[in-house]
């Protein structure tokens, strides 16, 4: 490991608080009043310190949850519940402790990745072995914490155990596995809410033996702050006092869902500004679990092949944290799927004396931060080292004499007991669904290579097939058949090859939990939508500089066959136009006042968050500050149907997918100079 002496800045500039809007007070001016009030209910400006039970599989000695409203204003008082003493520092002046934080983010339920030919990759079981080894070999003055920075759901077949209603619920696979793995704390990410807060609460209540944190999520009808999650926590570990704060992106979280309309997410910097001084005052070190993204404003990193809108990202959070507290602070990041500090500290990830790190996504790395702290010395005398431990992928086809062999998963790399006793039963519950053949693919146009190459630059055979399938299935919708359907390019996560098509293979294409919302639109509105979509196309001159495997997060859409048009590129994004538009064979100019029905997946209908179909400027590298069309303002019928389920039902009925069934390019979109 490479080590770095991290020093707080001796002077703090306040000319520019990143992104504004946050009331800031320095830690030097903050001295919380610690009071005792039996059966206290926190009032404005207060946090209530409540003893809680740590995960029995973890190593926290004492755990306290900090309850109260971190959004109403600065926290000035900490109230002890039932007269319990507020934790006092336990280390002598200058006494040194080591906090080792093992962390992951954006697991997206990739507990174990299943592959028939390569073999299963035991991602979480490999982490469990690393954590157990670290704890077994820890020095006497060392504490090893294991945490998640959020987005633990949505992205693998394990999601299906959640079901779509409380009645269908079987298990929350991630939270059940994390509990057994010894995870101590997890932040709430945006994808935790994909299936609704009611199911998230069900999963939390059933399977989580660790607390959930978010200081800026609020007002859900199901997930109640201070009951189901808290803004922050304080943990005593081997004589060290660790404060933990959770933050959730306010850009990409699915708010405004019909069954939980009051769910909201405030700006992370607002919550942090109010909360951090109080937490740091009673802590030796603060760990911020930030599911807000690497960077600030618009930033290109991780899963984004072009710049995407992240708002209050970790740069803004680090800036404010460094000004508000002199204690050692680390930001364990997530959301942008960014690989940081792989082999040691990158100086770019030290902001105002605050360390930022992140461990990519999907369980590909276990992050490792070792922090040596001298009690009561703040950031004047602390050291840390950072790296990422690669989680090895399985490929049993590779011979032992192959140069790749040492980097691949082998027996002994994972905790076999964990895999057998925790993951095994979950897989058994999924067996029938995983292996089920839903159809046969005879078309050679839907493979991964073709899909990834085409989804951002023009017409997509897979996008064509999916949208046409939804239009065909709409004959069974409660509101009747729709005229058109659309789906976003970033939602096409894989392709399907010729041969038997399993449920899992199609799940890999569409891992996100999108519902179908049917909008009523005029021909004029469709013209405006198509013109706005044309701006989002990845232009030919941009292709060479973009990794097409990443997310080009500008919200480009694919449409069903009833919508046909050309994109005239022009000289730049501001001059691009959708031309020669026809709707069900009629020129658009003849039907501008006619109304149509359009099936839209919920991610897009809710404004596409960071991909901007919400009136804000189009991001993802589109130059010119061009406003997006606000799809949220359309008149919707919320069907309650799931986009992926309807496509699967169509495939089941079809049985065999051929080019004649729409699995082809048919010229519905043409791109010309």
Structure tokens at 480: 């009747």
* Residue recorded with tokens 């830690």: 27
Per-residue b/e over 14-31, b at no fewer than 16 CB within 10 Å? eeebbbeebebeebeebe
- Asked which of 505-519, 521-535, 594-608 is least confident by mean pLDDT, the reply is 505-519
What values do phi and psi take at 96, rounded to 5?
A: -105, 140
Nearest to 471 by CA among 534, 559, 565: 559
Residue 126: per-residue pLDDT? 98
What is the rounded CA–CA span in Å between residue 627 and residue 618? 6
What is the rounded CA–CA span in Å between residue 359 and residue 337? 7
- Asked which of 267-271, 303-307, 616-620 is least confident by mean pLDDT, the reply is 303-307
**Rounded (10°) CA dihedral 320, 326, 327, 329:** 30
Q: pLDDT band at 15, cuts 50/70/90? A: very low
Check whether 70 has a pLDDT greater than 60: yes
Check whether 181 has a pLDDT greater than 50: yes
| Mean of per-residue pLDDT scores for the chain | 89
Per-residue b/e over 219-251, b at no fewer than 16 CB within 10 Å? bbebbebbebbbbbbbbbbbbbbbbbbbbbbbb
Whether the CB-CB separation of 667 and 456 falls below 8 Å is answered with no
What is the rounded CA–CA span in Å between residue 313 and residue 268? 8
DSSP character string of 12-61: ---S--TTS------GGG--PEEEEETT----TTEEEEEEEPPPTTS--S
Per-residue b/e over 480-494, b at no fewer than 16 CB within 10 Å? eebbbbbbbbbbbbb
- pTM for the model: 0.79
Whether the CB-CB separation of 333 and 292 falls below 8 Å is answered with yes
CA distances from 414 to 113, 444, 449 (A): 13, 37, 32
Residue 168 is classified by DSSP as G
What is the rounded CA–CA span in Å between residue 540 and residue 538? 7
Residue 83: per-residue pLDDT? 55
Tell me the pLDDT tens digit for each residue of 130-165. 999 999 999 999 999 999 999 999 888 899 899 878
Check whether 17 has a pLDDT greater than 80: no
Residue 86: per-residue pLDDT? 62
Whether the CB-CB separation of 456 and 553 falls below 8 Å is answered with no
Residue 90: per-residue pLDDT? 66
Per-residue b/e over 334-359, b at no fewer than 16 CB within 10 Å? bbbbbbbbbeebeeebbbbbbbbbbb
Radius of gyration over every alpha carbon of the chain, rounded to an integer in angstroms: 25
Check whether 87 has a pLDDT greater than 80: no
Tell me the pLDDT tens digit for each residue of 618-659. 988 898 999 999 999 999 988 878 899 899 999 999 999 999
Helical axes 123-136 vs 173-181, angle rounded to 10°:
20
Q: pLDDT band at 96, cuts 50/70/90? A: confident
Degrees (nearest 5) of the Cα angle 49, 50, 53? 140
Helix (H) or strand (E) holding 652: helix 643-654
pLDDT, average across residues 483-509: 94
pLDDT, average across residues 611-621: 91
């Amino acid at each position: 490991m490479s080590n770095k002496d991290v020093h707080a800045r001796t002077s703090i500039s306040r000319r520019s608080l990143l992104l504004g809007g946050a009331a800031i007070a320095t830690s030097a001016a903050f001295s919380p009043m610690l009071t005792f009030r039996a059966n206290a209910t926190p009032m404005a400006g207060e946090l209530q310190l409540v003893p809680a039970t740590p995960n029995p599989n973890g190593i926290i000695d004492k755990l306290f949850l900090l309850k109260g409203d971190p959004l109403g204003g600065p926290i000035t008082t900490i109230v002890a519940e039932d007269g319990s003493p507020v934790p006092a520092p336990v280390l002598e002046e200058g006494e040194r402790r080591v906090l080792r934080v093992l962390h992951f983010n954006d697991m997206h339920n990739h507990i174990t990745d299943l592959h028939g030919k390569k073999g299963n990759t035991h991602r979480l079981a490999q982490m469990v072995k690393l954590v157990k080894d670290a704890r077994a070999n820890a020095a006497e003055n060392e504490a090893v914490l294991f945490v998640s920075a959020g987005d633990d759901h949505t992205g693998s077949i394990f999601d299906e155990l959640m079901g779509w209603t409380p009645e269908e619920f079987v298990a929350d696979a991630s939270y059940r596995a994390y509990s057994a793995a010894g995870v101590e704390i997890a932040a709430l990410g945006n994808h935790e809410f994909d299936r609704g807060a009611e199911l998230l609460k069900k999963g939390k209540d059933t399977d989580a033996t660790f607390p959930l944190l978010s200081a800026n999520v609020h007002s859900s009808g199901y997930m109640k702050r201070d009951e189901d999650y808290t803004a922050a926590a304080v943990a005593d570990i081997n004589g060290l006092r660790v404060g933990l704060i959770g933050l959730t992106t306010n850009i990409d979280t699915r708010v405004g869902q019909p069954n939980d309309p009051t769910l909201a997410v405030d700006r992370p910097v607002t919550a942090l500004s109010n909360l951090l001084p109080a937490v740091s005052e009673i802590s030796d070190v603060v760990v911020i679990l930030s599911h807000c993204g690497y960077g600030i404003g618009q930033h290109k990193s991780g899963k984004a092949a072009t710049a995407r809108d992240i708002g209050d990202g970790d740069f803004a959070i680090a800036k404010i944290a460094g000004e508000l507290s002199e204690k050692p602070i680390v930001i364990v990041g997530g959301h942008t799927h960014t690989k940081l500090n792989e082999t040691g500290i990158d100086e770019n990830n030290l902001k105002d004396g605050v360390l930022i790190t992140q461990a990519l996504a999907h369980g590909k790395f276990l992050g490792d931060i070792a922090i040596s702290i001298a009690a009561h010395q703040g950031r004047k005398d602390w050291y840390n080292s950072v790296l990422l431990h690669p989680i090895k992928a399985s490929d049993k086809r590779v011979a032992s004499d192959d140069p790749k062999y040492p980097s691949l998963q082998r027996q002994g790399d994972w905790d076999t007991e964990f895999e057998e006793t925790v993951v095994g039963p979950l897989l058994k519950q999924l067996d029938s669904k995983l292996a089920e053949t839903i159809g046969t693919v005879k078309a050679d146009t839907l493979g991964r290579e073709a899909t990834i190459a085409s989804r951002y630059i023009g017409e997509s055979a897979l996008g064509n097939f999916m949208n046409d399938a939804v239009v065909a299935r709409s004959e069974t919708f409660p509101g009747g058949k729709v005229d058109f359907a659309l789906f976003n390019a970033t939602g096409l996560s894989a392709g399907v090859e010729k041969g038997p098509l399993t449920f899992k293979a199609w799940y890999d294409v569409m891992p996100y939990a999108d519902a179908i919302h049917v909008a009523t639109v005029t021909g004029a509105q469709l013209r405006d939508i198509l013109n706005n979509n044309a701006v989002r196309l990845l232009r030919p001159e941009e292709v060479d500089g973009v990794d097409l495997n990443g997310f080009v997060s500008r919200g480009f859409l694919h449409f069903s066959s009833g919508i046909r048009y050309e994109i005239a590129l022009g000289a730049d994004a501001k001059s691009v136009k959708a031309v020669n538009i026809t709707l069900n064979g009629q020129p658009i100019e003849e039907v501008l006042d006619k109304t149509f029905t359009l099936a839209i997946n919920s991610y897009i209908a809710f404004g596409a968050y960071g991909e901007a179909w919400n009136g804000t400027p189009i991001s993802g590298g589109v130059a010119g500050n061009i406003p997006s069309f606000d799809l949220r303002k359309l008149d919707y019928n919320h069907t309650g149907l799931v986009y992926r389920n309807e496509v699967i039902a169509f495939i089941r009925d079809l049985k065999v997918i051929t080019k004649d069934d729409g699995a082809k390019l048919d010229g519905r979109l043409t791109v010309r100079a």
